[in-house]
Amino acid sequence: MNIKELIGARIKSLRQGKGLTQEALAEKIGISSKYLSSIERGKENPTLDTLIQLAKALKVELFEIFLYAHEAPSSDELRKCIQSLIEEVDMDRLRLATKLLRAVFH
């Protein structure tokens, strides 16, 4: 499984754990159920804003979306993924990501 599939599976698991349909969750955050389905299947790359909205709607902390350690790829794969994400974001999102990582690691 790649990282997008792991995150998607985690979102699906959290959604189902809350008893929500894709339609209900998508409506809560203002996206289409088709887009949410694609996220859950690991076919889409959700923005940080979308992930934040999903976490709020699921009533979990953002970092909980990334708690899939039992299915996680190697640490090298995770580092490469983080590096590629860092290279793609603008300065505002990079600052937000830094704050999130500091919160997780402290």
**SS percent in the chain: helix, strand, coil, step 5:** 75, 0, 25
Banded pLDDT at 62 (limits 50, 70, 90): very high
Mean pLDDT score, 63-76: 74
How many domains are contained in the chain? Answer: 1
How distant, in Å, are the alpha carbons of 13, 18, 83, 87, 105 from that of 94? 27, 30, 11, 9, 16
Q: What is the pLDDT of residue 35?
A: 97
Banded pLDDT at 69 (limits 50, 70, 90): low
The CA distance from 54 to 22, in Å, is 11
Task: Quote the mean pLDDT of the chain.
Answer: 89
For the chain, the distance separating the N- and C-terminal CA atoms, rounded to the nearest angstrom, is: 29
Q: What is the pLDDT of residue 40?
A: 96
Q: What is the pLDDT of residue 106?
A: 80
Banded pLDDT at 26 (limits 50, 70, 90): very high
Answer whether 55's CB lies under 8 Å from 62's CB. yes
Q: Over pLDDT 70: what percentage of the chain?
A: 94
What does DSSP assign to residue 37? H
CATH of the domain at 76: 1.10.260.40
What residues make up the domain containing 25?
3-105
Highest mean pLDDT, choosing among 4-8, 31-35, 81-85: 31-35
Mean pLDDT score, 55-84: 81
The CA distance from 24 to 21, in Å, is 5
